[in-house]
Amino acid sequence: MAEPNFVDYVKIFCRSGKGGAGSSHLRREKYVPKGGPDGGDGGRGGHVILKGNNQLWTLLHLKFRKHIMAENGSNGAGALKTGADGKDVVVEVPLGTVARNGKTEKVLFEIVDHDDEKILVKGGRGGLGNTHFKSPTNQTPKYAQPGEPGSEDRYILELKVLADVGLVGFPNAGKSTLLSVVSSAKPRIANYPFTTLVPNLGIVSYRDYKSFIMADIPGIIEGAHEGKGLGLRFLKHIERNSMLLFLIPSDSADIYKEYNILLGELEKYNPELLDKKRILAISKSDFLDEELKNEIKKDLPAIPWCFISSVTSEGITDLKDLIWNELSQRVILAS
């Protein structure tokens, strides 16, 4: 996906339809001098609805669609005819989209399932016709309810990438290279920091036609939780990943220290991220012999780990097995 086409934050103005007015019609027929009230109800105003679509990966289609307005409901009529409801506006969004109030930034809901529909702005209710107000003491009411007005406000739609595994590491740790090796994704790869400017998703094939989704999150630097580097812009995408795969190159001066820095940035951004399953992969391991590997093993953190090389494919199968076993345990625990 081209970087200018990845949009994960938009502000939109939405207005629902107002409800139709109830009718105050009185029945008039030949030989029926006192037919009484027969006014129908007004129709409901249209809603603005968000709908999940697993074929969308970005909010690009809403970048220039700043105003979304639903139709008004129709008025009621005589002979107890109810007005037509206003047409709803259904806005399709990627899975992982969070809706917020544009003023308070309060989270309203999130879309996490395909075809999941949630009402962002409710349409106004239609007014009741005069037939609802007849009584023994007022048999011919000549009034009816007006329809409720629609609602309007500004809203924020924010995309947080949904994936099974999120790649976490400093710039140039080899995350994009790994994703390109284990999936058909084609992220930009180069030997300089911040090559990846947008999250990339890839479907990783596993044994017996199984698969899982891996996300390459742009590199974290120390102080990212304060907005340094790409900072807060992409830390939010890690929140929607089931598991975190820490990727640290074998030529790092101190793998344990680098891991703790990354972990600290996640904790400062959102302490709940530490509740996620974590795996460590030491990349660029084709430079290591057995003696060096044994030295590195002594200082590794107490989480599942493996040595890998995206160039020679060393340890890639072991990494997939490790990820799948951890994901399977999560599913068992959840059930």
Q: What's the CATH superfamily of 163-334?
A: P-loop containing nucleotide triphosphate hydrolases (3.40.50.300)
Are β-strands 89-93 and 48-52 bridged in parallel, bridged antiparallel, or unpaired?
Answer: parallel
Which tokens belong to 183? 């999936």
CB atoms under 10 Å from CB of 261, counted, come to: 16
Q: For the chain, what are the domain ranges?
A: 1-159, 163-334
163-334 has the same fold as 1-159:
no
Per-residue pLDDT band for 194 (boundaries 50, 70, 90) equals: very low
Q: From 273, 268, 298, 301, select the one nearest 168 (Cα to Cα).
A: 273
Average pLDDT, the chain: 84
Q: What is the mean pLDDT of residues 288-308?
A: 90
pLDDT confidence of residue 229: 39
CB atoms under 10 Å from CB of 280, counted, come to: 23
Question: What are the C-alpha distances in Å from 138 to residues 22, 36, 41, 133?
Answer: 18, 10, 19, 8
Give every strand in the sheet of 9-15, ordered side by side: 67-69, 9-15, 152-159, 97-101, 107-111
pLDDT confidence of residue 241: 80
To the question of domain 1-159 being in CATH 2.70.210.12, the answer is yes
pLDDT tens readout for residues 5-15: 668 889 999 99
Which tokens belong to 315? 């340890």
Per-residue pLDDT band for 143 (boundaries 50, 70, 90) equals: very high
332's CB contacts (< 8 A; 6+ apart) are none
**Better pLDDT: 68 or 333:** 68
